[in-house]
Structure 1
């Protein structure tokens, strides 16, 4: 993945796993590698992107905003699936994904498996279309269920207990 061949080919990447499993770190690391390889990269949390799209639509600059997101080689969307986006937000996100489809890469990180995305994208057909665009020809990495943060906290607590005991 760090060779950025998938970015060169315009393929999507999905990082799926529970909180604390390294999705965001991996997303940022792969984005950094792509930037160092000369690709144009944009990182954004999903809710920030959707809020920007809604504001752009309200201000009648949506086409310009979608085009701006369409020009980067790799769009990294973090925390997709944490919050319900609402129909309008989901539709606007779909427009961005459609603009990029099979041209430029999208990498997402989500704590929710695809089957649970109907909580984020409440329209089942729209949800299916978004999953389709984010998975077609791309890579799926499952980061698991064991939280690194929890493991580190537990190890520190155990070390303190043994030092105190």
Structure 2
């Protein structure tokens, strides 16, 4: 089950890079994610919650700007893979499977990045503009990120 949740949080990182660590930090802070005693225990600190939440909000705003580059450009794709790996590893650490969680998170991030771009493109074509598709993707990333973390309780 941990590997599936690590894969899914990687998908969220592929959709919205900073939403995944924000969800993980909130889950750890609320005690839903048992990170105490692991290398990832810092994720339960209020500072981690604050930093990742601010970064997630900034990303949601920046994504609405027309100058924001494609998620498939190397820097953006790389960031999604790194954060997918990190958040997957945090989930894996709760069950002593950090490396497995990391790998699952990377796979999920690739799926989320490519699948999210394709889905958003289809939605934008259906709406005739990108903004409604972006808002839908935002909502999916936030809601699913919280559901994934809640499943760890």
Tell me the TM-score normalised to structure 1 length: 0.28
User: Higher strand fraction: Structure 1 or Structure 2?
Assistant: 1
User: Higher helix fraction: Structure 1 or Structure 2?
Assistant: 2
